[in-house]
Amino acid sequence: MGSKLPLYKRSGIRILLVILFCLSGATVSLCLFFLSLFQTVNSQAEPVGTVIVKQNIVQRRVVHRVLWDRLTKESPVYPEDLIRVADFSSAELHIGGHELALEENTLIRIHDNGGAPQIELDSGSLSLITGNDSGNIHLIIQGNHVEAGMDTVLNAVAGDEGLVLSVSEGRILMSGWGQIREAAAGTLIAMDSVGRERNIETALILSPRPNARYLKNREEPLNISFAWNRINLSPTEELRLEISQDRSFSRVIREISAFEKADVALDTGLWHWRLSNGDTILHNG
């Protein structure tokens, strides 16, 4: 009969096997970490733009990675990066001479389409101002391809109900769901998730531009012009424009009822504004 190992020796072998298994797992994890780190460092050779964190939490995930990196105030971005803007946060993306304002709860992916920038909006809201000498930029919104030319200003919202795309300046070419359409300034396109037209009641903002900054160089208040197009709203019903010192509109300093435009004199500061129809907020700025 073969001899048996004492109990304490058998327990020692089991412990040794467990330790070896844990060390192997740690080694594999460490190798994967350094591979991911090398991939991140390597991707930083050719940035395609810069994201500026304007408020709170903005994160990036490099392609094929699981972890999200929290971006600093100004960070480079690369092809195939995912950019996520959290609650009560905002960011500004500069890419290829174009400016994109990303609002809270927005998720985008950056593509490099043969040297031409391409932004895929997965969910949330973005505003785009194209450069006047930077060529075209392409957006992908729920399967629809949008080409925006020079000097174009647009706003896009994507969610479970579909998409809403409005053009304030310039023009776009949009293709998707077997259709090709051209939209000029003052046009709004609303579609559900399968490409059917939606009739929504809203206002298309013509001015001021998204994320606009004004230079006040005299003591008197600066006059800001607000203008909008009514979409499927009664022409006899006034809309309410509110100006506030905070994003939550707990400190409203001006409230104006108007039909299609309003002029507001403002002193130096950072102001928030919104346009409402009754209890329905049509636009936040």
Question: How does pLDDT run across 69-99, given as a tens digit for each residue?
Answer: 898 888 998 889 999 999 989 999 999 889 9
Q: How far is it, in rounded angstroms, from Cα 129 to Cα 282?
A: 21
* pLDDT reported for residue 1: 47
- pTM (2 decimals)? 0.77
Question: Residue 18 — φ and ψ, nearest 5°?
Answer: -65, -40
Peptide bond into 208 cis (omega under 30): yes
Q: How far is it, in rounded angstroms, from Cα 241 to Cα 107?
A: 29
Domain residue ranges of the chain, discontinuous segments joined by +:
49-200, 207-284
Q: Tell me which residue of 232, 271, 226 sits closest to 252, measured CA to CA.
A: 271
* pLDDT reported for residue 238: 93
* pLDDT reported for residue 208: 92
β-strand partners of 216: none
* pLDDT reported for residue 215: 83
Q: How far is it, in rounded angstroms, from Cα 36 to Cα 240?
A: 51
* pLDDT reported for residue 276: 95
Low-confidence ranges of the chain (pLDDT < 50): 1, 5, 8, 41-43
DSSP state of 194: T
Q: Do domains 49-200 and 207-284 have the same CATH topology?
A: no
SS3 assignment for 206-260:
EECCCCCCCCCCCCCCEEEEEEEEEECCCCCCCEEEEEECCCCCCCEEEEEEECC
Residue 43 contacts residue 15 (beta carbons within 8 Å)? no
CATH numeric code, 207-284? 2.60.40
Architecture of domain 49-200 in this structure:
Sandwich (2.60)
Question: How does pLDDT run across 221-260, given as a tens digit for each residue?
Answer: 999 999 999 999 988 989 999 999 988 899 999 999 999 9
**Strand ordering across the sheet containing 261-266:** 202-207, 222-231, 261-266
